[in-house]
A and B are shown apart, each in its own frame.
Chain A
Amino acid sequence: MDGGRASLNIPARARISSGPILTQFRRILPWIIPLGFLALFYFYPLIKIVQVSYTRSPAGVGASIWEALNSPLLLRVTWFTFWQASLSAFLTLVIGLPGAYLLARYDFRGKSLLQALFGIPFVMPTLVVAAAFYAMVGPNGWVNLGLMTALKLEDPPVVLTNSIYAILLAHVFYNTTIVLRVIGDFWSRMDSRLVLAARSLGASRWQAFRRISLPLLSPAILAAALLVFIFDFTSFGVILVLGGPRYATLEVEIYYQTVGLFNLPLAATLSLLQLGCTLALTVIYTRMSARVSRPISLQSSRSSMHQLADWRAKLTAGVILIILFILLTAPLIGLAARSLTRFELERGERGEPERGFTLDFYRELGINRRNALFYVPPTTAIGISLGYAGLTVLISLLVGLPAAWALARDRQSTLNRVLDPVLMLPLGTSAVTLGLGFIVALNQPPLDLRTSPLLVPLAHALVAFPFVVRSLTPALQSIRPRLRQAASVLGASPAHVIRRIDLPLVGRAVLVASTFAFTISLGEFGATALIARPEYPTIPLAIYRFISQPGAMNYGQALALSTILMIVAASGMLLIEKLRIAEIGEF
């Protein structure tokens, strides 16, 4: 750019002299804030975790981990984490594969709507999911109510909460969409004539699937299975709430050790173990997903979607879709419906309960009833959550915009290629670990944030940070350098260019990023569970409390609050999708 100016015969005074040092400084400048943020609130806490774990056994972290694993309790915890994740992933695959096939090969009315619907579970906050399953298969859930009325029973016959079944169901609910998308997308790019060729050579449909489709699909199946496994491995809210006290994964155990037993060194050790496993899994996954993006047919496959021709195809498709629909949308619908109905007596009430539609639970949310110490009315929790969410948006944008700008500017530079994955690190770290890090690191001056209202938003911003950067970078990348050059030739200083050219163009992306940060903050549970002070709960924490307490009114309020959170989260995601699509359309 400067060379251009020199050749335009502009007087030397007007040229911006920028020697190499200034250019280097300018290059590094935007990185200072985001890297500083990560250093203070991610790396420093992690280092502290290692340090605290050290205090447990002076022989070193490795020895500490080894010792922890040798304890039968913790061995059991680690084993449970692995096998529940494996079983969940397996079940998700089994349920998702037929659906993936259907979506990959067939076209039918309402297909895109269904695909959108099936994606909703994935973005739901964990407490919403937990409450939804309580509303479906809990002791007062729809399934039991139905069975009790139909079979005239006194006690609920099918109680899946506080059991492994609820955990598995919730995991399948969450992650089926991953299978549908990853495998479905891959399958649709596989030449459909390969199966026809096999059948013309004498293979039955099953043989063609086993010998041709399955081997060719295996990279996608493995990648999807591994991704689902990683999500189930690091699952926290679902296990904590739906599993009950009997079931603990590494994440849940970290929580118990920190909040219940104050055994920070052990919690730290477990965190490192968890981190190590997740890191290894993520590395394996990245290798695998590279293979998934390679084309698998020798020629480019013509897109060939079939119609559902005969009644047999329609019937099979119908069955698959109904099962998926029930599994993936019924819990959320059931949650909303259950929050509006009352079927049982409150403690202390006599006589017949008024059955039916009611807004009592929602009304109760607004009432300021103080029944116990540290009890906070729900409206306060909502206000706190909103406040935290707002702060999260501000912090994320403050930190994320410079990072995205730097990434967008010199895409290919080595600095960028090294720092880009660094920015994504919080994504691969469990929220519980992040929370633990805050506890052990931010408790001394100059960073004593224990009583600061910024503590929780900082944690939320850390979780949201990768999403914010990922939303902003493409928009910033799309600003053509010519526009900025044109502005600067016309006399705009660099600051002016940013204000008048860059910012309006990224307005929409900023909106998307803000919505991300806002929605993530509202629904965040893992880190918040560790660091939030009891008298300042967020919505998910309030829901957790309500669910843990007996009584119809508490149960109802939990469901009502969850429904509200569900609607907000869904709206947030819908807004993001709409904004994103409009953006793509623009370019």
Chain B
Amino acid sequence: MTARPILKLVDIRKSYGDTKALNGVSFDVDEGEIVAVLGPSGCGKSTLLLIIAGLETVDQGEVIWRGENIAHIPPHRRGFGLMFQDYVLFPHMNVFRNISFGLEMAGLTREEIRERVEESLALVGLEGFEHRDVASLSGGEQQRVALARALAPRPSLLMLDEPLGSVDRTLRERLIAELRRLLRDLGQTAIYVTHDQEEAFTIADRIVLMRSGEVVQVGTPEELYHNPESLFAARFLGYTNWVPGEAWTENGRFYVKTDIGSFEVDGGPGGRVIVLIPPDAIQMNGPGEIRFTGKVFRKVFRGDMVQVGILIGEQELTFNLFSNERLPENGERVTISLDSPSRLRIYPRDQ
């Protein structure tokens, strides 16, 4: 079954004075899909959500919902849900009234409202919290009330703006997994905005990577991770093994020369380049033809895998090895082999 795009953003542009917040953003969201908009702070992600919700105007571009341009529809009639960073719960209302607000606006009866609120609370695991004062809730509880409030009116699109920004790390990992499960169970179409790459990877069906108001790359988490198309994308995703080099074509074949060795690869940009070696692209005693020798300078145990820092030539590179393999000691000289030359990613150095 192919899902059709239910939301299309076409060339959205927005400036505040001289600052260009959004500079031609376009992407689609399918019905039932969870799309993460990932990017560093200040790249325009939150502005995008406000625009989709109708709480901000566009300078140029269109927001198309179910095939129609919705620019003329005021925000309170769009039926979208928005969950804010810092939650923005109404301080003068208790949990029940916060959640029921959207339902009151929709004109539901008292009975319907009560049912729906209890349903929402159950969904987020906060049964019995109806009469609690919002100021007395913990951060995690506030977050869940904010989620329940946004979900209660059953919005056709749910937008979440860095909802886990102020939650601590361990809680965050648990919550993000719960959130994904919840959204999948509901079949909820959602846009999730974050600057945290791990959050985006956990929650999203597809990721839209943004930088300075522009879309840099769109793809599934796997596509993005294994195929970052730009130096920015690769850096943002957290890759750290960078080796400068020179690339040229000779006799129709493509070569790269670096401090740690020269290789033939399938293709890539010429001239000054920078080479990325993904941390999981090597093995200790593997069959790969390209080999490096170096000295282990660091070992960090991380549960099911070990991060091994190896000094190759003058480059300090970090690789991930499974901890059930035979692992080298600190200071040991080792030889590692690259799985295949196609794992190397080459980028122009002055991108």
Contact = CB atoms under 8 A, between A and B. Distances in A.
A453 B84 CA distance: 68
B55 A194 contact: no
B76 interface: yes
Contacts of A199: 55, 75-76
Interface string B90-108: 1110000000011001100
A198 B142 CA distance: 16
Given A307-B16, A307-B17, A200 B81 contact: yes
Given A196-B55, A204-B76, A307-B16, 14 more contacts: A193-B86, A194-B88, A196-B82, A197-B90, A200-B81, A201-B81, A201-B101, A201-B153, A203-B105, A215-B92, A298-B89, A298-B134, A298-B135, A299-B87
Interface in A288-334: 296-299, 307, 309-310
B37 interface: no
Given A201-B153, A203-B105, A212 B90 contact: yes
Contacts of A215: 92
Interface string B278-305: 0000000000000000000000000000
A207 B91 contact: no
A207 B81 CA distance: 17
Contacts of A197: 82, 84, 88, 90
Contact of B84 (A196, A307, A309, A310): A196
Contacts, number: 70
Contacts of B34: none
A215 B153 CA distance: 23
A202 interface: yes
A169 interface: no
B252 interface: no
Closest 10 CB pairs of A and B: A202-B105, A201-B102, A200-B82, A299-B86, A197-B88, A193-B88, A199-B75, A202-B76, A215-B92, A203-B105
A307 B15 CA distance: 12
B198 to A, nearest CB: 24
B67 interface: no
Interface in A182-196: 191, 193-194, 196
B91 A297 contact: yes
A211 B76 CA distance: 14
Nearest to B159: A200
Given A197-B82, A200-B82, A202-B106, A310 B57 contact: yes
B61 to A, nearest CB: 16
A216 interface: yes
A198 B150 CA distance: 10
Contacts of A201: 76, 81, 101-102, 105, 149-150, 153
Contacts of A203: 76, 101, 105
B16 A194 contact: no
A194 B82 CA distance: 12
A299 B166 CA distance: 11
B50 interface: yes
Nearest to B49: A200
Residue with the greatest number of chain B CB neighbours at <10 A, chosen from A197, A204, A216, A310: A197
Contacts of B149: 201
Interface in A427-457: none
Contacts of B50: 196
Interface in A72-97: none
A349 to B, nearest CB: 61
A207 B105 contact: yes
B80 interface: yes
A216 B91 contact: yes
Interface in B16-59: 16-17, 50, 53, 55, 57
13 contacts: A194-B90, A196-B50, A196-B88, A197-B82, A200-B53, A200-B75, A201-B101, A201-B102, A202-B102, A202-B106, A202-B153, A207-B105, A298-B142
B101 A198 contact: yes
Interface in A324-353: none
A216 B92 contact: yes
B81 to A, nearest CB: 7
Interface string A206-239: 0100011001100000000000000000000000
A586 B81 CA distance: 49
Contact of B91 (A202, A296, A309): A296
B12 to A, nearest CB: 16
A193 B146 CA distance: 13
A291 to B, nearest CB: 13
A274 B88 CA distance: 46
Interface in B136-156: 142, 149-150, 153
B85 to A, nearest CB: 9
Nearest to B161: A193
Given A194-B90, A297-B91, A200 B17 contact: no
A200 B57 contact: no
A95 to B, nearest CB: 26
Contacts of B89: 298
Contacts of B90: 194, 197-198, 212
Contacts of B81: 200-201
A411 B149 CA distance: 48
A460 to B, nearest CB: 46
Given A200-B55, A201-B102, A207-B105, A193 B84 contact: yes
Contacts of B153: 201-202
A133 to B, nearest CB: 41
Contacts of A298: 86-87, 89, 91, 134-135, 142
